[in-house]
Amino acid sequence: MECPYCKGTMRYGVIQSPHEINWKPKKARLFGAAIFHKEAIVLSEFSFTGGSSVEAYCCDKCKKIIIDYGNIITGKDDL
């Protein structure tokens, strides 16, 4: 993938967590599932057996990571 910022080559990978991965418009005072935060976007749902992971592209040149949150990896396929 070509980086939209610097036009360099981006590497494919994943971001992993033992918890749900979500984005919020501002930092919350308390951690919690996206369902408890207005306007939150779930990037990867939690899985007891596989944790959470989301596909991402990394640009080493300009230090940006791009996540396509339309592609959720639940970890179920990795068993």
Over residues 34-54, the pLDDT tens digits come to 777 778 888 888 877 878 888
User: Structural domain of residue 56, as residue ranges?
Assistant: 11-78
Residue 4 belongs to a domain: no
Residue 1 belongs to a domain: no
Residue 6 belongs to a domain: no
Residue 5 belongs to a domain: no
Residue 70 belongs to a domain: yes
| pLDDT (0 to 100) of residue 72 | 53
Residue 27 belongs to a domain: yes
Write the DSSP assignment of 9-59 as a string of letters.
BPEEEEEEESS-EEE-SS--SS---GGGSTT-EEEE---TTT-EEEEEEEE
Residue 41 belongs to a domain: yes
The total number of structural domains in the chain stands at 1
Residue 2 belongs to a domain: no
Q: Of 10 and 22, which is predicted with more confidence?
A: 10
